[in-house]
Amino acid sequence: MRRIPLSRRSHIIGFQPLATGTAEHESALERDFVTLTSFLDPAASIISQPVTLTFQDGFNRRRYTPDFLIRRIGAAAELVEVKYRVDLHASWRRLRPAFVAARAWAHEHSAGFRIATERGIRGPMLNNAKRLLAFRQVPLDCDIAAMVLGVVRAQSSPTFAGVLAALPLDRRVGLSALWRLIARQALQVDLSSPITHTTRLSLP
């Protein structure tokens, strides 16, 4: 079990079931990090509090447990600390030696280390992930999927609204199919911006 330290911030403790296992979180920002990471790479393994490091800080022997270890297919593993920017700045002197130890551990294990804050986690991409994840496991008729992809392929500059209008389907059926194909990454969009009727669609 994860040890939940005392903090001036209230904890939001929970679990997220993923395709690669279950990831635990103890704050809203950690929850959002797991959501975004699992959406962008469904095959990624997200391990909560993977290792506790012991290091020397002056005359003191200290311990530090990073938040997550991310393992991706075909890429180096990544040790990640999730912190709100205000907490990072307020406690930087105390945290810096721990982060140095984490970078050393990562280097020894052919991995990387980074600090993730709300600036990189929250925004349009996270909002899109929260919206699309609900569609990822919903069944999709193969014939309808093929029809949608065929319309996208036939248009020179396909947009969400343009493809929807060209489909010989009930609007609700076409709309649902588009969202499901985007969620499954069978259709690509710019996830760094809100998805609207003018959003461009493309094939992988």
Q: Is residue 199 over pLDDT 70?
A: yes
Name the 3-class secondary structure at 122: coil
pLDDT at 6 over 50: no
Domain containing 44 equals: 14-121
Q: Are residues 23 and 113 both part of a single domain? A: yes
Q: Among the listed ranges 62-66, 132-136, 163-167, which one has the minimum average pLDDT value?
A: 132-136
Q: Is 81 helix (H, G, I), strand (E, B) or coil?
A: strand
For a pLDDT cut of 70, what percent of the chain falls above it?
A: 95
pLDDT value, residue 18: 82
CA distance linking residue 141 with residue 163, whole number of Å: 17
Q: What is the mean pLDDT of residues 56-61?
A: 95
Based on the fold, state whether residues 110 and 131 are members of the same structural domain. no
Do 60 and 37 fall into the same domain? yes
Say if 61 falls within a structural domain: yes
pLDDT value at position 17? 80
Same domain, 150 and 73: no
- The pTM of the full predicted model, rounded to 2 decimals, is 0.87
Contacts of 139 (CB under 8 A, 6+ apart): none
Compute the distance between CA of residue 6 and CA of residue 4 in angstroms, rounded to an integer: 7
How far is 33 from 130, CA to CA, in rounded Å? 11
- pLDDT-based confidence at 8, cuts 50/70/90? very low
Residue 5: predicted pLDDT: 45
Token pair, residue 119, equals 């600036």
Identify the domain boundary among 80, 103, 121.
121
Residue 91 tokens read as: 């406690």
11: CB partners within 8 A, 6+ apart:
4, 26, 27
Q: In the predicted model, is pLDDT for residue 181 greater than 90? A: yes
Q: Token pair for residue 77?
A: 């593993």
Q: In this model, does residue 11 exceed pLDDT 90?
A: no
pLDDT confidence tier of residue 114, bands split at 50, 70 and 90: very high
Domain count, the chain: 2
Answer whether residue 169 shows pLDDT above 70: yes
Q: How many helices (H) and strands (E) does the chain have?
A: 8, 8
Distance in angstroms (rounded) separating the CA atoms of residues 182 and 34: 19
- CATH number for the domain spanning 89: value is 3.40.1350.10
22 Cβ neighbours under 8 A, 6+ residues apart = 15, 16
Report residue 133: phi and psi, to 5°.
Answer: -60, -35
Q: Rounded mean pLDDT of the chain?
A: 93
pLDDT interval class at 1 (50, 70, 90): very low
Does residue 102 share a domain with residue 72?
Answer: yes
CB 171 within 8 A of CB 164: yes
